[in-house]
Structure 1
Amino acid sequence: MAGSSLASRICWSKLIVASTLLCLLFGAQGSSATALTTYLQGNEKSCFYADVDGIGEKVGFYFSVQSGGSFDIDYTVQSPSEKVILEGTGERQGDYIFTANTVGEYSFCFENESSMTAKLIDFDIMVESEPRRSLPVQQGSIAEHTSSLEESIYKLNGMLSNLVRTQKYFHTRHHRNHSTVLSTESRIFWYSILESLAIAGIAFAQVWVLKSYFGRTGR
């Protein structure tokens, strides 16, 4: 009976430690993310903002142009002191992570320099504090169990991150291919209209020329 009671206590201790570990990793990590979509008209600029509450926090920034023109966009990332952290011209997509050295509001701006084409952009802004939480020191097999469980969860977190990136890649490819198909269909349609008008015009011109020629000959 004593051995059974001791085993039961150890089992419950492992469950409590595992639950605490999950809460620390996923509930108390203090991360925030924003997944958005914006539509920019020609010569339009749009900015979005994210607050950073502490120095050393990791800021993730991802974007991809889904449709419009050559699928390119200009972007700028600035710190609260208006210092340029990231910038690019004519970029199709980007995935960046940087460390915030200043507390405050960071700006993420997109600019569509094309005057003829509107562009659809998907982007994510994530602010996350990444240091690992230290758990209370346990004894014996419980400490070893929690340590291995912690490593397994971090590996799982990494695999999920890779899966999300792969989904974003295929999502972008789908939108770009769909946009290309729509553009090609539109071009074929208008080309067919112009071709039909040209054929009708040539036929009318031929009839007019023949009518004028035989009219003169008859005189």
Structure 2
Amino acid sequence: MRLAAALGASLLLAACASATALTTLLNANGRACYYADVDGVGEKIGFYFAVQSGGQFEIDFVVMDPNDKVILEGEKERQGDFIFTGKTLGEYSFCFANEASNTDKLIDFDIMVESEPRRVLSGSAAPLKEHTSALEESTYKLSGLLSSITRTQKYFHTRHHRNYSTVQSTKSRMFWFTVLECVAIVGMSLLQIWILKTFFSRGGRWVTRWYRRC
């Protein structure tokens, strides 16, 4: 029974956080906003984004509170990972702007809202806390480790996309450079043939004229 109660407490603690992991394609010269509700003063809000493809992997962003006060903003940022405290109840906005670019951008981002204080169970909370404190600490440690692993996976995912884009760009440049080189070689060959043909044609005419005069 104690183990079941402890597991129930850990589930309640896990329910304190809500997160949204999304991928969006932002069109050229476009703007997109996403929203998260904060229903308690002092809640921690996490915001992560990374540009996966498009142009120079740069994007403008701005985060505002329910009173339209700017909390975070940046221009031509490739990625960001922020945590701040929500001091106002209501709807927070997270906006991306691609207005200065002519290419589409693929963006991965997370919005997390987490209550800072831990929930306390009613009734048998005091005796239950003695048996669940160690489990709570282990749960939070595991949650932190999982978050770290998730961030690392996202980092490598972003690097993979960017490196792949660089490889594709280099491949395209090499292809067109090779095509231009082939065209130049063929052009030089044709030019040499024309020069040699013209030279011998004029030389033959000069020899014929000299023979007739003699």
Using the TM superposition, give the Cα deviation of residue 124 of structure 1 relative to its aligned residue in structure 2, in angstroms.
Answer: 0.8
User: In structure 2, do the counterparts of structure 1 residues 212 and 82 end up closer, same or farther at CA, with 3 Å as the change threshold?
Assistant: farther
> Is 1:15 the equivalent of 2:7?
no
User: In structure 2, do the counterparts of structure 1 residues 211 and 117 end up closer, same or farther at CA, with 3 Å as the change threshold?
Assistant: farther
TM-score, with length taken from structure 1? 0.82
User: In structure 2, do the counterparts of structure 1 residues 116 and 143 end up closer, same or farther at CA, with 3 Å as the change threshold?
Assistant: closer
Q: Which residue of 2 aligns with 1:212?
A: 198
SS at match of 1:132: coil
Q: Deviations over 1:11-34 (max 9, x none)?
A: x3x22321221221123x2x3222
**1:24 is matched with which residue: 12, 36, 42?**
12
Q: Which residue of 2 aligns with 1:137?
A: 126
Q: Which residue of 1 aligns with 2:208?
A: none
Q: Pairwise mapping of residues 100-119 of structure 1 onto structure 2 (< 5 A)?
A: 100-112=86-98, 115-119=101-105
**1:187 is matched with which residue: 165, 173, 186?**
173
TM-score, with length taken from structure 2? 0.84
SS at match of 2:186: helix
Q: Which residue of 1 aligns with 2:210?
A: none
User: In structure 2, do the counterparts of structure 1 residues 217 and 43 end up closer, same or farther at CA, with 3 Å as the change threshold?
Assistant: farther
CA distance in 2, matches of 1:214, 1:119: 60
SS at match of 1:158: helix
- Higher-Rg structure is 2
CA distance in 2, matches of 1:134, 1:52: 20
> Is 1:173 the equivalent of 2:155?
no
- The alignment covers a number of residue pairs equal to 202
CA distance in 1, matches of 2:133, 2:12: 14
Using the TM superposition, give the Cα deviation of residue 173 of structure 1 relative to its aligned residue in structure 2, in angstroms.
Answer: 1.5
SS at match of 1:43: coil
User: In structure 2, do the counterparts of structure 1 residues 66 and 192 end up closer, same or farther at CA, with 3 Å as the change threshold?
Assistant: same
Q: Deviations over 1:18-57 (max 9, x none)?
A: 1221221123x2x322211122343332222223233322
Provide structure 2 residue ranges, at least 5 long, that are not aligned to the other structure. 206-214
SS at match of 2:14: helix
Q: Which residue of 2 aligns with 1:88?
A: 74
Using the TM superposition, give the Cα deviation of residue 185 of structure 1 relative to its aligned residue in structure 2, in angstroms.
Answer: 1.2
Provide structure 1 residue ranges, at least 5 long, that are not aligned to the other structure. 1-11
CA distance in 1, matches of 2:38, 2:119: 20
Q: What root-mean-square deviation, in Å, do the aligned CA atoms of Structure 1 and Structure 2 show?
A: 2.0
SS at match of 1:137: helix
Q: Deviations over 1:50-78 (max 9, x none)?
A: 23233322221101111233322221112
Using the TM superposition, give the Cα deviation of residue 171 of structure 1 relative to its aligned residue in structure 2, in angstroms.
Answer: 1.2
Using the TM superposition, give the Cα deviation of residue 188 of structure 1 relative to its aligned residue in structure 2, in angstroms.
Answer: 1.2
SS at match of 1:90: strand
> Is 1:146 the equivalent of 2:132?
yes
Q: Which residue of 1 aligns with 2:37?
A: 51
User: In structure 2, what residue type is equivalent to 1:81?
Assistant: N
